[in-house]
Amino acid sequence: MAPTGEQHLLSTEIVNRGTEPSGCISFSVRVRRRLPDFLQSVNLKYVKLGYRYLINHGVFLAAVPVLVLVFGAEVGRFIREELWPKLWDTTAGYDLVFVLVTVAVFIFTLSYYLFSTPRSIYLIDFACFKPDDDLKVTKEEFIELARKSGKFDEASLEFQKKILESSGIGDETYVPKTIGLPENISTMKEGRAEASMVIFGALDELFEKTGIQPKDVGVLVVNCSVFNPTPSISAMIINHYKMRGDILSFNLGGMGCSAGVIAVDLARDMLQANANNVAVVVSTEIVGYNWYPGRDRSMLIPNCFFRMGCSALLLSNRRRDYRRAKYRLEHIVRTHKGGNDSSFRSVYQEEDPQRFKGLKISKDLVEIGGDAIKTNITTLGPLVLPFSEQLLFFSTLIKRYLSGTIKHEHGVTTPGNSSEQLPSPSSSSSTKPYIPDYKLAFEHFCIHAASKTVVNELQRNLGLSDANMEASRATLHRFGNTSSSSIWYELAYMEAKGAVKRGDRVWQLTFGSGFKCNSAVWKSVRLMEKPSANNPWLDCIDRYPTEAFSHSSQV
């Protein structure tokens, strides 16, 4: 399963209580259900990083139009005061060289501005794969498939059942039925078969919706975390659709649930370097190939959460595509904590004592994930928050810094060894941190649907409403954790509800192994009056939000 933040979902500790008189091994599960409060302690260097990012990307583009206006005004003054009167005075001469130099400087400045401005990246459309109904399972059927495989003892089955009960996952998610087979299903043959089904299903729908021919695609980026065959998945797509020979193709592996935004970032860079082009980004995870058949309970958690899914999106840098595009890419902010050993090993693929491969989940994952998310949103804030919110947040931050409530950190923060001190009860009461209202920056939130616990905790930390988290909860309930594609199922949910209006801003927040946290900000460029015919939510959108959501924020 994609190494990811769903393992935030639960930081689980397994305690073996020995053997009961009946001979059954008993165990208990302790779950850490709270992420750290992001804004009780804020790292000043990441605030500075956000403002540095804003300055680097904004000051030049803001200054060049001023220069253009200055030169324009100078040319206008010269024409009005010097050139125009002298045109009527045939006996007077004027400095033709000065006129030509002024016009040349003006044209050069304007051209430099136009060529230096990054090309806008448009999201033409996207598709989310919806498997056939014969792959749909309830939670009870899931446990029965696991029991039928004969790979788990009763203790392991009972553990998975308890996890599912508190997962936030509903009874209509999709899994390959091969997980119920007694033989080994983690084979290349099974992996390629599942990859072909979900990826080609999503791409067929994308090409149909956009009218783009596969041979027109100039850039292809695919991300799938654990299943990485040779030839690569990107080569498999090129072969299937007979794409052109000069296509720029990339295959991202081992990057977890946050890889969807990373893939978009790479596609954006490729489009910036290659004018008049379109790019396809495919995000997926292969469930059957990553099925863990062992008994290590920390490795059984991904089995409970991951479900089949795939997204495919079409990006363009062609200005003529603005009229038919849905969204324009505004910002991408990426955070990587892999320089720290604890973060690097927080979600770690390895073999258990029985030599079965699985994802080992660190007991410190909640703290590590919270730190990465806090860093990312702190850097993102200066780019998206209104000036009033930035002023309140920054003034409160400086006040707390000067009072010694928080300390300036130059190193790397690690759980259990942080120079970023939490405030004492007395200090926090006098200098309470100001939490920016991100609802003023965005109309819609697509937060990775890792688990009910993670969604609840992010809602609490960011001060979001149930309506803001509705798409995440609905996606988790209906489709489960589909890894890097989950944020696109969430956006499809919003479109099915008719919630996205022209000018609305969408924040996609993802997190996963490494440990990484990434944000993408999109702006809607047209009104979407009704969802597309292939929207995966059309047959069930009227059932959401469910009644269970009214209690979902209770942790």
Backbone conformation region of residue 256, classed left if phi is above 0, alpha if psi is from -120 to 50, else beta: left
* Mean pLDDT, rounded, of the chain: 81
Within a domain: 391: no
Within a domain: 102: no
Cβ contact 288:176 at 8 Å: yes
The predicted structure's pLDDT at residue 125: 96
Q: In the chain, what percentage of residues exceed pLDDT 70?
A: 74
What DSSP character marks residue 404? T
pLDDT band of residue 367 (cuts 50, 70, 90) is: confident
Instruction: Give which of 263, 262, 259 is closest to 248, Cα–Cα.
Output: 263
Contacts of 494 (CB under 8 A, 6+ apart): 444, 446, 471, 500, 506
In this structure, the number of other CB atoms found within 10 A of the CB of residue 525 comes to 18
Cβ contact 359:299 at 8 Å: yes
pLDDT at 418 over 50: no
On the CB side of 385, how many CA atoms lie within 13 Å of its CA? 21
Mean pLDDT of the 81-109 span: 62
pLDDT at 449 over 80: yes
Give bridge partners of residue 334 from the DSSP assignment.
Answer: 518
Q: Provide the number of structural domains found in the chain.
A: 1
Within a domain: 78: no
Instruction: Give which of 335, 551, 307 is closest to 450, Cα–Cα.
Output: 307
The predicted structure's pLDDT at residue 531: 80
Mean pLDDT of the 309-313 span: 98
In this structure, the number of other CB atoms found within 10 A of the CB of residue 502 comes to 10
- The two most distant CA atoms of the chain are separated, in Å, by 118
Beta strands in 90-228 (DSSP E): 122-128, 136-137, 173-174, 219-224
Amino acid, res. 520 = A
The predicted structure's pLDDT at residue 7: 40
In this structure, the number of other CB atoms found within 10 A of the CB of residue 517 comes to 29
Q: Minimum mean pLDDT among 78-82, 357-361, 466-470, 525-529: which range?
A: 78-82
pLDDT band of residue 16 (cuts 50, 70, 90) is: very low
The pLDDT tens digits for 459-480 are 988 889 999 999 999 999 999 9
pLDDT band of residue 427 (cuts 50, 70, 90) is: very low
Within a domain: 156: yes
In this structure, the number of other CB atoms found within 10 A of the CB of residue 400 comes to 22
Within a domain: 416: no
Beta strands 122-128 and 173-174, pairing class: unpaired
Q: Minimum mean pLDDT among 81-90, 281-290, 324-333: which range?
A: 81-90
Catalytic sites, residue numbers: 257, 336, 444, 448, 477, 481
The pair of three-digit structure tokens given for residue 330, joined into one six-digit string: 């505004």
DSSP string, 50-81: HHHHHHHHHHHHHHHHHHHHHHHHHHHHHIII
Which CATH number belongs to the domain containing residue 522 in this structure? 3.40.47.10
- The 3-state secondary structure of 317-346 reads CCHHHHHHCCEEEEEEEEEECCCCHHHHCC
Amino acid, res. 219 = V
Instruction: Report how far residue 515's alpha carbon sits from residue 347's, in angstroms, rounded to the nearest whole number.
Output: 8
Within a domain: 107: no
DSSP string, 120-150: P-EEEEEEE----GGGEE-HHHHHHHHHHHT
- Tell me which residue range forms the domain holding 351: 6-35+122-385+436-551
Within a domain: 105: no
Within a domain: 393: no
pLDDT at 544 over 60: yes
